[in-house]
């Protein structure tokens, strides 16, 4: 297989570990802290997780006596969308397991959670692991979105694990995947299956975070990748002086990616979905505000700029959110009648005739392409697929129309040319930054220690992340500690609380203080490509979000 020079060099990179984890594994012991509780809905969480609720936080310390590690077999699953660093979680897990006892085995389940249900496995070896160290992607064993949530599935998992002699399971995923890990751990304890389960926090969206999980892995690399691309667009705009770039960024439920990229690049405008929702900002107000910034810059002779848009923005605009809800309900109830329609005109008339006057007015005001996207194929739950709505194109068209109206009254005299971009998949499988390479390796290494000490229902936790890696902390957090009850598909279910952008937090406050200047002045910052070799202050830099949160 042909390799690029960078790929060859990255294979040889030695990830940094927290100081405590650099000690020989046989010299480490677990230290239990105080009993924990859920922050909200504590009584209900306790009832649902009687075996794993109230567990203590865990850390590690050097033992006075050598700890014996008997051979164990560990299974590992990659769950959900890709995130840079996943290969290093598995590498760290493998190295720790083999350092503890050469006879231990790491068994990967192929294709995500369905791999354990279908008993598709691969035993990992030194040569196999070495092909994936410090690389992006999840191709080492593949991933998938099958949910492990029924007792029948849990029983199948237990049977497959028993067949392979697996007594420990690591699930690498986001908030839903780690919620499922907690439910699976509870079931195994209840049924005395003899299988421990530990999760690792993954998602580029950055919404799996709290006071115990400072950041999910992949967020650092993805935002640096997007910021490089945004910086390139800024340099191009600054050169040509004639384009407005509307950039939609991945992250459906939360705007962490958009905010971090704004902090790194200083665009003219960055919309934050959580602020739009809190202020009840209408689509008309968003369009008017953007048009005003375009006009203000035009007065200075600057007919160019960059606007960042979170992927899930449309679901946070009040009137669009309720419109989507009504359309979801309508198409679910009238599925047969709607599917019998053959032309766009018939579909348009059908939908508008079933909407109330206010919703109809919003729907009609949208560009035709967006109207069609709101009515296209639904997801498995019958909801509109928001990621496929081209919000960036919608805003370009609506801002252009608004500027045309402003020009008629002399309020705008510039030239507007909007270009649309969507940065999503470009960042999910990038070579992990040094931070993510180190962080992920530490998460995997740490996960082994939790399992070796018979902890189950925990998430691997590495903290103090703005300090040099040798000062990072390592341990485990009971997943039940991070749960609350939320309505999912009409039922109240225990889930890890999704972290949205905190409008009172330091990162957003800083952004808010600067954005009026960034809007009119050309304040662009050009981050450049991720650096892997060179000065520590360049190569091991954490995100602006983390820096501001820990300032």
Give the model confidence (pLDDT) of 7-40 as tens digits. Answer: 999 999 999 999 999 999 999 999 999 999 998 9
Pairing of strands 121-123, 244-249: unpaired
Element (H, E) at 395: helix 391-408
HSE value, Cβ hemisphere, 13 Å, CA-based, for 526: 9
Distance (Å, rounded) from C-alpha 354 to C-alpha 360? Answer: 9
Q: Tell me the average pLDDT of the chain.
A: 95
CATH class of 71-204+433-478: alpha beta
Find the radius of gyration of the CA atoms of the chain: 25
The full length of the chain comes to 551
**Architecture of the domain spanning 315-389:** Orthogonal Bundle (1.10)
Cα 361 to chain centroid distance, Å, stands at: 34
Does this model's pTM top 0.85?
yes
Is 385 a residue whose pLDDT tops 90? no
pLDDT classification of 349: cutoffs 50, 70, 90: very high
Torsion over CA: 284, 289, 290, 294 (sign): positive
Do 71-204+433-478 and 315-389 come out as alike in CATH topology? no
DSSP 145-171: -----SHHHHHHHHHHHHHTTEEEEEE
The tokens 């999704």 sit on which residue? 498
Element (H, E) at 341: none
Distance (Å, rounded) from C-alpha 262 to C-alpha 229? Answer: 12
Is 488 a residue whose pLDDT tops 80? no
Mean pLDDT value across residues 442-463: 98
Contact between 542 and 220 under an 8 Å Cβ cutoff? The reply is yes
The pairs formed by 137-141 with CB atoms below 8 angstroms and a separation of 24 or more are: 137/82, 137/86, 137/87, 137/429, 138/78, 138/82, 138/83, 138/86, 138/87, 138/429, 140/78, 140/86, 140/87, 140/90, 140/108, 141/76, 141/78, 141/90, 141/108, 141/109, 141/110, 141/111, 141/115
Domain ranges of the chain: 71-204+433-478, 315-389
Cα 400 to chain centroid distance, Å, stands at: 32
Distance (Å, rounded) from C-alpha 298 to C-alpha 314? Answer: 27
pLDDT classification of 387: cutoffs 50, 70, 90: confident
Nearest to 482 by CA among 83, 195, 202, 176: 176
pLDDT classification of 381: cutoffs 50, 70, 90: low
Q: Which residues are catalytic?
A: 205
CA angle at 102 for the pair 31 and 170, rounded to the nearest 5°: 55
pLDDT at residue 379, rounded to an integer: 67
Contact between 487 and 242 under an 8 Å Cβ cutoff? The reply is no
Is 80 a residue whose pLDDT tops 90? yes
DSSP 177-202: HHHHHHHHHHHHHHTT---EEEEEEB
């Amino acid at each position: 297989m042909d390799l690029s020079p960078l790929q060859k060099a990255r294979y040889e990179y030695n990830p940094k570990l927290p100081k405590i984890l650099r000690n020989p594994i046989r010299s480490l012991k677990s230290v239990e802290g105080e009993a924990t509780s859920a922050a909200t809905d504590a009584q209900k969480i306790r009832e649902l997780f009687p075996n794993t609720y109230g567990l203590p936080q865990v850390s590690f310390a050097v033992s006075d006596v050598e700890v014996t590690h008997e051979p164990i077999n560990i299974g590992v699953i990659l769950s959900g969308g890709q995130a840079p660093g996943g290969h290093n979680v598995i590498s760290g897990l493998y190295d720790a397991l083999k350092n503890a006892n050469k006879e231990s085995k790491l068994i990967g389940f192929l294709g995500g959670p369905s791999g354990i249900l279908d008993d598709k496995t691969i035993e990992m070896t030194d040569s196999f692991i070495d092909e994936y160290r410090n690389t992006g992607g999840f191709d080492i064993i593949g991933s998938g979105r099958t949910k492990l949530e029924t007792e029948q599935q849990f029983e199948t998992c237990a049977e497959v694990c028993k067949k392979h002699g697996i007594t420990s399971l690591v699930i690498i995923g986001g908030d839903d995947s780690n919620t499922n890990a907690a439910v699976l751990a509870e079931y195994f304890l209840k049924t005395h299956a003899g299988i421990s389960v530990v999760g690792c926090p993954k998602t580029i969206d950055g919404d799996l975070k709290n006071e115990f999980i400072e950041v999910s892995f992949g967020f650092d690399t993805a935002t640096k990748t997007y910021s490089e691309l945004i910086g390139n667009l800024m340099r191009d705009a600054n050169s040509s002086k004639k384009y407005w770039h509307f950039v939609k960024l991945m992250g459906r439920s939360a705007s962490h990616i958009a905010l971090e990229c704004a902090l790194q690049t200083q665009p003219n405008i960055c919309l934050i979905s959580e602020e739009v929702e809190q202020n009840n900002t209408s689509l008309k107000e968003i369009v008017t505000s953007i048009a005003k910034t375009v006009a203000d810059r035009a007065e200075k002779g600057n007919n160019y700029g960059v606007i960042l848009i979170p992927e899930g923005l449309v679901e946070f605009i009040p009137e669009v959110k309720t419109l989507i809800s009504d359309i979801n309900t309508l198409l679910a109830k009238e599925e047969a009648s709607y599917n019998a329609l053959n032309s766009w005109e018939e579909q348009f008339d059908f939908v508008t005739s079933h909407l109330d006057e206010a919703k109809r007015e919003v729907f009609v005001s949208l560009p035709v392409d967006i109207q069609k996207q709101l009515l296209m194929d639904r997801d498995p739950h019958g909801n509109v697929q928001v990621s496929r709505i081209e919000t960036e194109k919608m805003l370009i068209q609506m801002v252009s129309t608004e500027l045309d109206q402003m020009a008629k009254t002399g309020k705008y005299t510039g030239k507007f040319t909007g270009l649309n971009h969507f940065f999503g998949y470009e960042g999910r499988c990038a070579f992990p930054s040094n931070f993510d390479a180190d962080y992920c390796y530490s998460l995997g290494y740490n996960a082994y220690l939790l399992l070796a000490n018979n902890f189950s229902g925990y998430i691997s936790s590495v903290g103090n992340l703005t300090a040099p890696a040798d000062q990072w902390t390592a341990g485990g957090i009971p997943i039940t500690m991070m749960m609350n009850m939320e309505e999912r598909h009409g039922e109240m279910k225990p889930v890890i609380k999704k972290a949205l952008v905190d409008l009172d937090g330091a990162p957003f406050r800083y952004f808010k203080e600067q954005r009026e200047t960034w809007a009119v002045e050309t304040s662009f910052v050009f981050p450049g490509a991720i650096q892997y070799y060179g000065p520590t202050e360049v190569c091991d830099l954490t995100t602006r979000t983390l820096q501001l949160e820990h300032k």
